[in-house]
Amino acid sequence: MNEVVISTSAVNSYGFRVLTEGIDTSQYERNPILLWMHNRPMRGTKDEVLPLGRVENLRKEGDKLIGSLVFDSADDFAKQIESKWQNGIIKMVSAGLEVISTDESPELMLPGQTGTTITKSKLKEVSVVDIGANDEALALYHKGEMLLLNDGNHKNIDFLTIKNSQTQMKKIAIQLGLAEGATESEILAQVVGIQNENKTLKDAAEKARKEAIVNLVTTAQEAGKFGADKKDHFVKLGMEAGFETLKTTLECMHTPSKPSDFINPNSGDKKWETLSDVPTEELANLKENNPQEYARLYQKEYGIAL
């Protein structure tokens, strides 16, 4: 069985694509002709290539249009093409499609697509071809005439080419929250308004960032981590390196110890009752840095005032 994929919705080598779901095959199935290279015998001369056969079991499976080729065994040329097909020398077919409608909507565009999307078409014929447009060969018919797409001629076919400026303006208008048909001046005014709004927001965010950095530096300075002469230095560091980097840097800096830090540091608000409650290693610090407390505990311990 010579089953073959006739078309898919993939982007072809010409930059546009044809939606499989939009291909109408009803008329073609009444006369499922199989041609050679899209050539129709219209001159009535002996050198013309007659149809090679027909296509059977034409169907859509997912995104693919599939059919089985049946070659005319009574035609010498058709038998030659069938032989080359069976031997894998020729193994591509092409859909001859009449274009019904196209759509340039961005949501239909695929990566690598530069042309329009043919959303509705009518299958007119299927041809065996030597070289296809890509994995799917293609011939298009428009207003009853076959369009030659080779050598880049498709770029001059208006309905296949996306009208970039108009399409871009529509997309920009929609993105800006305007109507699709907004004028250029309306779009420009909206852009200027957004730019001004963005500048206001950006300035406010920058002001808030600097205030947070200054507050962080001020707190560290008041904690004694550095002198007032270093304040501008750390503010500049925060503005350049960022709030989190500055915060980490300041957290790594130690706050100088005060004499009171050495008095009963582990007891919190609890006070020693007698001198014997004071750990031996802290007695010297207590006597030197808090003589009044030392005297009170001494009197409690021995009943004698110092």
Pairwise CA distance, residues 57 & 25, whole Å: 12
Q: Which of 123, 100, 113 is nearest to 14 (CA)?
A: 113
Per-residue pLDDT of the chain (306 residues; tens, 9 = 90+): 688 889 999 988 778 889 999 999 999 999 999 999 888 776 655 657 889 999 999 999 999 999 999 999 999 999 999 999 898 898 888 888 899 998 888 888 888 888 889 999 999 999 998 875 434 455 566 666 665 454 444 444 555 555 555 667 777 888 888 887 888 788 888 888 888 888 899 999 999 999 999 999 999 888 888 888 989 999 999 999 999 999 999 888 877 655 555 555 444 445 788 888 888 888 888 888 888 988 888 888 887 887
Which residue in 54, 165, 155 sits closest to 114, CA to CA?
155
Helix axes 184-222, 243-251, angle to 10 degrees: 10
Domain boundaries, the chain: 2-162, 184-251, 259-302
pTM strictly above 0.95: no
